[in-house]
Structure 1
Amino acid sequence: MDKPNFRKRHQGLIPLVGGISVYAGICFTFGIVDYYIPHASLYLACAGVLVFIGALDDRFDISVKIRATIQAAVGIVMMVFGKLYLSSLGYIFGSWEMVLGPFGYFLTLFAVWAAINAFNMVDGIDGLLGGLSCVSFAAIGMILWFDGANQPRNLVLCDDRRHPAIHHA
């Protein structure tokens, strides 16, 4: 049970099962799908580390330096082993493509860290994490659908090999 403290402003004791429940649902979904999902094991491993650290943090209040270091390590593992990083922002400023070069690794690391912490901030508000996740991933899915990435495997994890903003080796 989660108790209020200087970081947590909720009232009363709150059960700490949100992140674990979401992760269990994702693992179950990955287990029943019958088509190839790129980087599924990498995704589950990285997410598992984050869930484990989140559970430890809920229990023992881990310092922000340790949590940020582990989140950065997860982002680096994703970039190194999955070769998943932002190589381009596409044609965001008009007719020329904004290629990021080596800066793409730093931007990806920041984006991963920001996404982890943005979702973590709303995790304590009942049901809000699930709703925000659905809206965010539905929006990404619609963008990819209109971009031509309308195969089922692309919609599951918003993975698109042809999208200019995501580099896959």
Structure 2
Amino acid sequence: MDYILLIIPFCLAIILGRAIIPYILLITYKKRLFDPIDARKLHQTSIPRLGGLAFMPTQLCIMALSLVIIYNFGLNTYFVKEITTWKILPMFVVWGVGMVMLFIMGVADDLVHVHYKWKFLVQIVAALLFPISGLWINDLYGFFFIVGLPYWFGAILTVFATVLIINSINLIDGLDGLCSGLVCVSCLVMGGLFFYNGAWVHTLLAWITAGVLIPFFYYNVFGVSKRRRRIFMGDTGSMTLGYTVAFLAISYSMNLKEIKPFAEGAIVVAFSTLLVPVFDVLRVIVVRFLAKKPLFKADRSHLHHKLLRSGMSQHGAMMSIIGLSLFFSIFNLIAVQYISNNVVILMDLVLWGVMTLSFNYIVNKKKTVNI
């Protein structure tokens, strides 16, 4: 029964995503709502960018219906126990509120373009909802030799982490299948971790999100533009997905028995699936700052651009980054069992640094040969 109650919503999310996306394609082509073509973009044909419209409504509807059915019919005592825990319920309520805020802002940006300052403001307000609801990073599990955190500091750290993750997911959405693939892997992994720890409602959210991304991934990667079967997710999708994975990562990292039992290394494991986009956006920001360039101006300095310049195909670059994210997830999950959090993060940084320098060397060598 436990598995069925999780698998049915997952399959339903796939079915709804598969049913909704063709209608979005039909409307976007009729109204000519295409992603603009410029020197930074990789596509050279008109492609709609409102695929993210399918995500948030599907997530909220299936989550709400699943919990109502499970609660009213008493189908599973584990679910009922979590739903009736007042420490958990407000967290999911504000997640829904934040999703609606970011969904509206994303649609506005995809249709008429919104200045990044307004998007940033909405992201901060949505992130503030987490600590207000009782969801905040309250323990670093020895990271930087810190254990428990006071509320005010944990709340600030939570808001910072949430905004960082939202923008990391948003900025890495520059390659077909990359953003949806990364988030899908992240949700499947975190869903598995929540399931192992008995956090059934969090597992449900993670796997519903993964489910709705599977049909989108197909249209985004394998859809044919000439047949009007290809679509991008746009900011509507990337911001709401970023908010969801931030919610899941912070929930797993929080030391709260109502969510899961105490686990050493939870803070490292929780954010492992997000290390690639977060490390990449931090690197880009540092490089832009040192070069005295606008921090929020889009360019072609992200990891996927480096992989393409090194000679990889788009699909090859996409699969390499998703594989790298999965590697960090498995490596950290195993490493925290034997090594301290500080050493594990240091090893992650070293591995990331070596990889970045290697690709820089390959790209520079390729430029020299072409000259």
Report the TM-score range of the alignment, normalised by the length of the smaller protein: 0.7 to 0.9
- Structure 2: which 5+ residue stretches go unaligned? 1-33, 71-82, 206-247, 268-371
Corresponding position of 1:83: 134
Q: Which moved more, 1:4-13 or 1:69-78?
A: 4-13
Corresponding position of 2:99: 47
Where do residues 6-155 of structure 1 align in structure 2 (5 Å cutoff)?
A: 8=41, 10-33=43-66, 34-35=69-70, 36=83, 38=89, 39-80=91-132, 82-92=133-143, 98-101=147-150, 102-123=152-173, 125-146=175-196, 149-155=197-203
TM norm structure 2: 0.39
**Alpha-carbon distance between aligned partners in 1 of 2:95 and 2:117, rounded to the nearest angstrom:** 23
Give the paired residue count.
161
Give 1:25 shift. 2.0
**Alpha-carbon distance between aligned partners in 1 of 2:40 and 2:96, rounded to the nearest angstrom:** 28
TM norm structure 1: 0.77
Change (3 A) 1:62 1:18: same
- SS in structure 1 opposite 2:175? coil
Indicate conservation of the 8 Å contact 2:50/2:110, yes or no. no
**Which letter does structure 2 place at the counterpart of 1:86?**
I
Structure with the higher helix share, 1 or 2: 2
Change (3 A) 1:26 1:145: closer
Query: Share of identical aligned residues, percent?
Result: 27
Q: CA RMSD in A?
A: 2.7
- The superposition leaves residues 110-166 of structure 1 with CA deviations (integer Å, 9 ceiling, x where unpaired) of 1100111122224453333332112112232344445xx224224224556425679
Indicate conservation of the 8 Å contact 1:18/1:123, yes or no. no
**Alpha-carbon distance between aligned partners in 2 of 1:59 and 1:84, rounded to the nearest angstrom:** 32
